[in-house]
A and B are shown apart, each in its own frame.
Chain A
Amino acid sequence: MMAPPSWALRFLRWFCREDLIEEIEGDLYELFQDRMELDGLHHARRSFVWNVLRSFRLSTIRKINFYPMHLKSNFKLAGRHLVRDGMFSLIKIGGFALGVAACILIGLFVRYELSYDQHHPTKEEIYRIYGRFIADDGQVQAGIHFPMPLGTTIADEVSGIDAVGRVLRLGDRLFRSSASTQNIFEEQFAYIDQEIIDIFNWPFKYGDPKTALINPNTIILSEASADKHFPGRDPVGQTVIMDDREDQPLTVTGVLESAAGPSHLPYRFYISLRDQERWLNESIDWLSHNYFTYLKVPSSSDIQNVREQVLDIFVENMFPNWSRAQNKSIESIIQSTDLQLQPVEDIYLHSTELSYDRMPRSDIRVIWLFSAIALFILVIAIINFVNLATAKSLQRAREVGLRKVLGSVRQQLIGQFLIESFLFSLISVLLGVLLAWIAMPWFNELAGRNLRFPWQSWWLLPAILGGIAGVGLLAGLYPAFYLSRFKPMNVIRGLEVGRTKMSGLRSMLVIFQFMASIVLLIATFVIDRQMNYILNKSIGYDRDQIMVIEGTQTLTEIDPFADRLTQLAGISGVSVGGYIPVTGGNRNGNTFNIVGHPELKTAAQIWVVDHAYGDVLGLEMLDGRYFNEAIQGDSNALIINESMAKALNLDEPLGAEITNGFLDPWRVVGVVKDFHFASFEYEIGPLCLRLGFSNNRMMVKLGQEDVASMVSAVRREWELVSPNQSLRYTFLDENFARMFARVQQQKGMVRAFAFFAIIVACLGLFGLATYTTDQRSKEIGTRKVLGASSASIFKLLTGSFLRLVIIAFIIAAPLGWWLMKKWLEDYSYRIEMTWDILLYAGLLSILIVLMSISYQTLRATLEHPVKALRQG
């Protein structure tokens, strides 16, 4: 074969200007021949390819046929169509804009959730110690709280790490600068090691990040808290008082700059852990688990090796204790423990196995759920556009035919239709951006976030332009090619153009739209039901009108204060103690067994309560009695709940003796009916109550009427005993509701966006109905003239749409059923999926469809037939 490579030649012919091809080809060919005689075929072919590539120049490539005059007239025509089909355009643009707005909101939400802990400069080197403990029944319990000496031991013994640091959550405290006398309640305190600053590389506004917390009794503040307490000045060197402890002032050594992104560490006040022991020998106590431990492992180290070294420390120092407490061999504990070093980037979205961590977190599954919903909505909106554009094909066919007769080529028509779709896309996307911006505050409330519209971000404009182009192309491509294909002769002779095939595709797209909408409907129903089930389920105690006063540990004489409150009119009981049955209450877990029967054991919460606790909460006793002040020796009495009795296998619980191994045994005097003390996602666990003193909260049971004046009476009493500190209170109900806030957010968002999706789909259907009834107006007229009843015509018109919805339902029902069953599996207490949910979803979708098409069908049905028949 003595020819140059044919693909190179083809490429040349493809890009090269018509008038230059012969010259260039000829010259290249001649060179090829010469070269072949000189160097042989191989070299000749290679140099030919090279020459072709070199000939690919701006001056040789084909000019794209792009006449500005046409562009102008294209836009003019697109504009005219937009205005002439006012109703249609409104539906197209409105539906599109709604879809785009929904996508933007969800997109910003997802982006924010994914940005957690992405701003740390060395984020791929930061890990948190994360333990998973697999019980015999396969239940996984995950934990991040570890003993205080774990961090120091790792620092001493583990090689291949840069730093290790601990965090201890302190919660909410009273706070003031030494110069002030007014205590202010502040949230989010924590103790940390200096190493935590090194690990996360926090930027400082004031102070030296390298030495800020190396001394005891030092504190660093977030920028916002510094601004609040030391407005407009550098507080480094000032002293502050926490919890009114004037004997132990803290020196401010630094102020953090506000972070570049959200972090899973929510704290605002960081106190040095240096020489801090909350009790004697805490720093060598391996029994209590309270500290989060973070590591910085350079990428040059083998992370598995580091993990094994940490595990060795666990095996040596902690497993012997666990083995005694759980009465298991150390080997079996090693077996059931899955110790992990969790990358910091995973913490926010991948910690769902943790039960109590009180840090902000979300769930990657939620992110997927909302991304899928956004995609659904966008697809539904695009389908609307395609459907409405092709539905008009008959009308546009005449135009296409005429223009072809007058000499338009297909490319010009495709250009025309694409420009139309870009124009629609432009208006809709801009409108959608506007809508999203307007809806931002509403969305923030719904999602419980604080997002802002990223007007200043460099990527906003490219993203919007890309969105306009992408959506315009996606939505316009099919109609453009479809519509421009019409043969002018057929159109002008009045032949039907591709109607059956096209309406088939339209039907499929409508089915898909409604399938997506019905799945969302089913999801909404199930999520709603589950939430109502949780909120209305009897929770085992009386949570009406219980006021919780926080921070009472600063009162010097708490009991007399409680007595005075009890005497106020309308207050029926006051209980002093921090163990309240909602998330955020004090907690204390131990392992218990029946005295003399170490095999009869269970892990349980043990709460310290006072005599009034049972009355105030209205706990229901199943057996035995509540604590009684009149009875001596109640100090070693214990009240257990049903779950505890079951866990210990006690048929006759009264009188049983129970021990946790390190305190004197208790005698069971009563069994209380199970009541919820954490989020409903968790089952009620074993719980026991003992008498004792805990003073960081008070529960005050108010009467039913005039809560406001009772609260102000309480406030007056409070100000008498604690003038330095303002009264801080919540209602138990509020706390309870807060436990569900996260799930309720999900519910609200799913509801809102399901609504969005359905509205968009209905808009499309409305447009389609408008069109088909118009198209069939002659047929309807003829039928009526020939004696068809209005009812039969209505049935005829709606029937075709209903059929599509029913098909969509048949596909959507099992899909939605399956998806929601998966979703419910996360809840210990959950509703049963029942068939009526599908029934309601189906009926509702049919109702929605009828509503969106009935206006048009009724109009067509009731119109005078002569009018329709007379037209054109």
Chain B
Amino acid sequence: MGREHLGEFEELVLLIVASRQGEAYGVMVMRDLADQANRKVNISAVHAALRRLEEKGYVKSDWSEASDKRGGRRKRVFTIRASGVRALEKSRDLRMQLWKNIPGFSPNFGWT
């Protein structure tokens, strides 16, 4: 597994980054986690996860405009990279495979 491994929390964060298409940053990811996944975490945990994803090469980051709300600091905005998409797909395929192995149980996830 090594560097390829995607942790459960990392996977969630990566999915959120992917869904936000070039707008994801720390606070936003934290909010989405709370609203959509019902996971209340500290901002520092999000930062750590984003940094790990960047180190693994799944996301890249750019600076956006500074805003007053942030006391004049810029946002670090994260975008998913191709390798990140591949990692998500791989993780999904693995799960599908495992689900199918369960006898008498045929889920329909509706993935396209």
The chain A residues found within 8 Å of chain B, CB to CB, are 20, 22-31, 33, 51, 54-55, 57, 59-60
Contacts and interface: CB of A to CB of B under 8 A. Distances in A.
Given A22-B73, A55-B43, A27 B48 contact: no
Contacts of A30: 27, 69-70
Q: How large is the interface on B (under 10, 10 to 19, 20 to 34, 35 or more residues)?
A: 10 to 19
B39 interface: no
Contact of A24 (B47, B69, B71, B74): B47
B51 A33 contact: no
Contact of A55 (B44, B73, B75): B44
Given A22-B76, A55-B44, 20 more contacts: A20-B47, A23-B73, A24-B26, A25-B71, A25-B73, A26-B73, A27-B26, A27-B70, A28-B43, A29-B69, A29-B71, A30-B27, A30-B70, A33-B69, A51-B42, A51-B44, A54-B43, A59-B48, A59-B51, A60-B47
B42 A27 contact: no
B46 to A, nearest CB: 8
Given A22-B76, A26-B73, A29-B73, A54 B27 contact: no
Interface string B67-86: 00111011110000000000
Contacts of B44: 24, 51, 54-55, 57, 60
Contacts of A23: 25-26, 47, 73, 75-76
A31 B44 CA distance: 12
A27 B69 contact: no
B78 to A, nearest CB: 10
Interface of B: 25-27, 42-45, 47-48, 51, 69-71, 73-76
Contacts of B76: 22-23, 26
Given A23-B26, A23-B76, A54-B42, A29 B70 contact: yes
A27 B27 contact: yes
B25 A27 contact: yes
Which interface residue of A24, A26, A29 has the most chain B CB atoms within 10 A? A26
Which interface residue of B27, B44, B69 has the most chain A CB atoms within 10 A? B44
Contact of B70 (A26, A54, A59, A60): A26
B48 A26 contact: no
25 contacts: A22-B74, A23-B25, A23-B47, A23-B75, A23-B76, A24-B26, A24-B44, A25-B71, A26-B71, A26-B76, A27-B27, A27-B47, A27-B70, A28-B43, A30-B27, A31-B43, A33-B69, A51-B42, A51-B43, A54-B42, A54-B43, A55-B43, A55-B47, A57-B48, A59-B48
Contacts, number: 55
A38 to B, nearest CB: 13
Contacts of B71: 25-26, 29
A54 B47 CA distance: 11
Contacts of A60: 44, 47
Contacts of B43: 27-28, 31, 51, 54-55
A26 B75 CA distance: 7
Contacts of B48: 57, 59
Contacts of A31: 27, 43
Contacts of A55: 43-44, 47
A30 B64 CA distance: 15
Nearest to B71: A29
Contacts of B27: 27, 30-31
Contacts of A51: 42-44
A21 to B, nearest CB: 9
A20 B54 CA distance: 13
Contacts of A20: 47, 51
A254 B53 CA distance: 73
Contact of A26 (B42, B45, B74): B74
Which interface residue of A28, A30, A60 has the most chain B CB atoms within 10 A? A30
Nearest to B66: A26
| Smallest CB-CB A-B distances: 6 pairs | A26-B73, A27-B26, A26-B70, A23-B76, A54-B44, A55-B44
Contacts of A29: 69-71, 73
A59 B42 CA distance: 15
A54 to B, nearest CB: 4
A33 B73 CA distance: 13
B64 to A, nearest CB: 10
Contacts of B51: 20, 59
Nearest to A23: B76
Which interface residue of B26, B47, B74 has the most chain A CB atoms within 10 A? B47
A26 B69 CA distance: 9
Contacts of B73: 22-23, 25-26, 29
Which interface residue of B27, B71, B75 has the most chain A CB atoms within 10 A? B71
Contacts of A28: 43
A27 to B, nearest CB: 4
Which interface residue of A22, A25, A27 has the most chain B CB atoms within 10 A? A27
A59 B44 CA distance: 11
Contacts of A59: 48, 51
Nearest to A33: B69
A696 to B, nearest CB: 85
Nearest to B74: A22
A30 B75 CA distance: 10
B72 to A, nearest CB: 9
Contacts of B26: 23-24, 27
A803 B81 CA distance: 78
Nearest to A53: B44
Contacts of A26: 70-71, 73-76
Contacts of A24: 26, 44, 47
A28 B43 CA distance: 8
A54 B44 CA distance: 6
A28 B51 CA distance: 16
Contacts of B25: 23, 27
